């Protein structure tokens, strides 16, 4: 459990302001001896926004029976596009470079990523590289050692631990900055989120089949967004705690079928932390892995290539050496 200190010197954005500190360096210096380091300040702005979002999502459930069936299909389609923007985009392409994508596919994935509204591709990938390199230490942004709640959502409610920032700066992110699609998406991130995460999902049902704006906003935007966030966060929380470890019993990430199902193929997390370069993020190729199906389809269409894969020999040897004996 994270012990939150009292927040009398933290502002709504979680900035810690010790008395007499004029700038960032002085704040850091003074906070070294303080009982309230900046990384423990609660970011009330995020707490309030997430509370409102989740309340809106609960309300949206009541609206489901009142919606046009096309609105259900549309909301689910938006969920899949959202998910691909994370799994095939920010995760397997930009964080891990597990395959190559041509410009049209990178543009599609960046647009889909803005629909996901999970921080821009650069920030997501930088944090995710830190998560792999410094897994389950203070330099891991959603360090699961700090408990289920912190790994799931709590990490967005406090300032980052100083190790995340200090050690994160040692990571090589030059490839991300060299990709004009990543740079463009970061530059216009706010606008792209307003359009892709909120306006487009809401306006399509209203314009094309006369759905009420209210219903389409709550279903295709709020509910779809909230579910996609929680499914993604389950990879950080549940898949770091529950499941078996056939590839490496010495690390916490686990194979979690429930997460795999929701996260369109991203729950083989023991495999993924053992072989992070594998484009399928799983030993089993297409099985339970819509993201792998999508990448394979893109390769077939000539829009992607250079898929990296752990060989069966490599996997077998690793299972024998460090696995927990399960399949
Ligand atoms: C969200 C992201 O939900 C979810 C990511 C989940 C990852 C899952 C991984 C699992 C893999 C598989 C995928 C499965 C997907 C399935 C999909 C199915 C649908 N290195 O951040 P700041 C520096 S987002 C190096 O402000 P604070 C940097 O210089 C939800 N440096 O830290 C930065 O400046 P700049 C929506 C780093 O002030 C400066 O520090 N978004 C690093 O402590 C300050 O950075 C939100 O709710 C690093 N790693 O604030 C927003 N990190 O800007 C949430 C930082 O120039 N975020 N630096 O880069 C925030 O409000 C804040 O970040 C904060 C921390 C309050 C959390
Ligand atoms: Zn990863
Ligand atoms: Zn992980």
pLDDT per position as a tens digit, 264-300: 999 999 999 999 999 999 998 777 899 999 999 999 9
Helix (H, G, I), strand (E, B) or coil at 304: strand
Residue length, the chain? 327
Helix (H, G, I), strand (E, B) or coil at 172: coil
Cβ of 105 below 6 Å from ligand 1: no
pLDDT per position as a tens digit, 49-81: 999 999 999 999 999 999 999 999 999 999 999
Q: 15, 131, 170, 232: which to mutate for ligand 1, most atoms within 8 A of CB?
A: 232
What is the helix (H) or strand (E) element at residue 132, kind and residue range?
Answer: helix 121-133
Q: Which atom of ligand 1 is nearest to the CA of 168?
A: 20
The pTM score is 0.92
**Residue 308 exposure: Cα atoms within 13 Å on the Cβ side:** 14
Cβ of 240 below 6 Å from ligand 1: no
**Mean per-residue pLDDT over the chain, rounded:** 92
What is the helix (H) or strand (E) element at residue 203, kind and residue range?
Answer: helix 200-209
The rounded distance, in Å, linking the Cα atoms of 317 and 323 is: 9
The rounded distance, in Å, linking the Cα atoms of 1 and 4 is: 9
The two tokens of residue 314 are: 């490599």
The rounded distance, in Å, linking the Cα atoms of 279 and 293 is: 11
Asked if residues 91 and 231 have their Cβ atoms less than 8 Å apart, the reply is: no
The rounded distance, in Å, linking the Cα atoms of 307 and 286 is: 13
């Amino acid at each position: 459990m994270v012990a939150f200190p009292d927040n009398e010197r933290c502002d709504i954005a979680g900035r810690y302001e010790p008395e007499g500190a004029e700038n960032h360096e002085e704040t850091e210096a003074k906070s070294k001896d303080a009982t309230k380091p900046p990384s423990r300040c609660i970011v009330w702005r995020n707490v309030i926004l997430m509370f409102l979002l989740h309340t809106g999502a609960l309300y949206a459930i009541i609206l489901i029976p009142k919606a046009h069936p096309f609105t259900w299909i549309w909301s689910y389609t938006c969920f899949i596009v959202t998910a691909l923007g994370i799994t095939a985009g920010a995760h397997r392409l930009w964080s891990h470079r597990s395959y190559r994508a041509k410009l049209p596919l990178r543009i599609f994935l960046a647009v889909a990523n803005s629909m996901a509204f999970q921080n821009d591709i650069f920030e997501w990938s930088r944090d995710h590289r830190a998560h792999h390199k410094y897994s389950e230490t203070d330099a891991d942004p959603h360090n699961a050692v700090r408990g289920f709640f912190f790994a799931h959502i709590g990490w967005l409610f406090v300032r980052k631990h100083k190790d995340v920032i200090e050690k994160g700066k040692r990571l090589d992110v030059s490839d991300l900055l060299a990709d004009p699609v990543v740079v463009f998406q970061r530059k216009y991130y706010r606008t792209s989120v307003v359009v892709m995460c909120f306006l487009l999902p809401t306006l399509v049902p209203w314009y094309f089949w006369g759905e009420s704006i209210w219903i389409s906003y709550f279903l295709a935007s709020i509910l779809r967004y909230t579910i996609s966030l929680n499914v993604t966060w389950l990879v950080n929380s549940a898949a770091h705690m529950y499941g078996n470890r056939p590839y490496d019993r010495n690390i916490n990430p686990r194979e979690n079928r429930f997460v795999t199902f929701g996260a369109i193929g991203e729950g083989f997390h023991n495999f993924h932390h053992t072989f992070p370069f594998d484009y399928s993020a799983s030993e089993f190729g297409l099985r339970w892995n819509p993201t792998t199906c999508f990448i394979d389809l893109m390769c077939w269409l000539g829009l992607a290539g250079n898929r990296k894969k752990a060989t069966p020999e490599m996997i077998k040897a690793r299972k024998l050496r460090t696995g927990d004996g399960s399949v």
